Amino acid sequence: MSATTQRLPRFAAAAAQMGAGVLAPGVELVRLGQFAQRSGIYLVLIALLLVPALWLPEYRNVLNLGQIVQQSAALAILAIGQTFVIACRMIDLSVGQLMGLIVVASCSLMEGRPEATIPAILLALAIGLAVGAINGFLNNRLRIHSLILTLGMLSILQGAIFVYTDRSVGAASPAVLRIGNGTVMGVPVTVPLVLVVAALAALLLHRTRFGLHVRVVGANEEGARRAGIDVARVKLPVFILSGVSAAIAGIILAGRLGTGYPNAGTGFELDAIVAVVLGGTPLSGGRGTILGTLAAVMVLGVTANLLNLLGMSAFIQMVVKGAIVIAAVLINQPRVLGRA
């Protein structure tokens, strides 16, 4: 009861403000700009889904949408993990190669045997957890820029993969293949998987004390420290989350590829960072949105799919993708003062 009475005046005030906005078009424009900045990626996604549906009959097919999710599932999971890292004002460049290592390791453990599925998944999670923990530990102890630390780790992991094998090894088990490519009642298995992971991640980031601390440390590390937050104990789990997300993404990718391809993860780290930033999480930290990240992954996936349907070459697709990244960053990014 008291909640409603409290909410009402606030609503009235907001309505009055909006009325004022109509009177002053400048204010209205600013508000429109802010609205576009906050929800731009969702508008782009809706436009990308609706407009082509008018011309392309394939687009009215819901199955096509499921396929796009299936193709983008690994990136989506990876980007969800990276959202925590970037919201905490850090960067994890090692996730791509980590995912590659997990694909290779789990496939060579499985060798296509059905009974090896559970051990392979456990191995994947263990590797992700361990590498994430090492990243977090070193980040806290060495106090060097996370970009440089994880760049070093990228090189180390890539070396480790190729020392182990320089060609595809092993094979995914039937169950893992089903995770990557299978459907349940017409819905790709990855759809509920991504949704569950995203929901858990959103709860963790927006509704828990840990999530709050992640954002506070990202916004102002020194301030967080002075407010009594143990910064190291926030950053360590963030890197572990990132590592575990790479493990889940690695299993999905292993299912999609069916074999342990050593270059499987190359370049994924940059795609994940692009998706997170397009989604509205600024590189300057302090804020994060899992839903935005998901929308951005879908925008990238839908664009590729659309250009495919239009018969564009892979080369033109790259140019378009780059242009989208630049356009989105121009619209979305908060302005960084100074700094070349």
C-alpha distance from residue 32 to each of 12, 21, 29, 38 (Å) = 20, 10, 5, 10
Q: Of residues 103, 120, 149, 216, which one binds other proteins by CB under 8 A?
A: 149
Q: Which stretch binds other proteins (CB under 8 A): 160-168, 175-183, 210-218, 250-258?
A: 160-168
Least distance (Å) between residue 228 CB and other proteins: 23
Q: Contact at 8 Å (CB) between 88 and 285?
A: yes
* 114 DSSP assignment: G
38-76 CB burial, b ≥16 within 10 A, e <16 = eebbbebbeebbeebeeeeeebeeeeebbebbbbbbbbb
Window 161 to 220, contacts with other proteins (CB under 8 A): 161-163, 166
Q: Contact at 8 Å (CB) between 218 and 72?
A: no
Least distance (Å) between residue 162 CB and other proteins: 4
| Pairing of the two strands 187-188 and 183-184 | antiparallel
Q: Is 322 in the site for other proteins (CB under 8 A)?
A: yes
CA angle 12, 15, 16 (to 5 degrees): 85
Q: Which is nearer to other proteins, 204 or 232 (CB)?
A: 232
Q: Which is nearer to other proteins, 180 or 265 (CB)?
A: 265
Least distance (Å) between residue 35 CB and other proteins: 20
Residues 6 or more apart from 44 whose CB is under 8 A from it? Answer: 299, 328
Please work out the total of residues on this chain that contact other proteins, with binding judged by CB under 8 A. Answer: 52
Task: Lay out the site mask for other proteins across 262-301 (x = CB under 8 A, - = otherwise).
Answer: --------x--xx--x----xxx-----------------
Least distance (Å) between residue 44 CB and other proteins: 15
Q: Which is nearer to other proteins, 220 or 317 (CB)?
A: 317
Q: Which is nearer to other proteins, 156 or 187 (CB)?
A: 156
Q: Is 38 in the site for other proteins (CB under 8 A)?
A: no
Least distance (Å) between residue 37 CB and other proteins: 13
Residues 6 or more apart from 316 whose CB is under 8 A from it? Answer: 307
d(CA 211, CA 134): 21
Least distance (Å) between residue 15 CB and other proteins: 34
Bridge partners for 187 per DSSP: 184
- Hey, is 247 helix, strand or coil? helix
Give the footprint of other proteins on this chain (CB under 8 A): 138, 142-145, 147-149, 151-163, 166, 270, 273-274, 277, 282-284, 313-326, 329-330, 333, 335-340
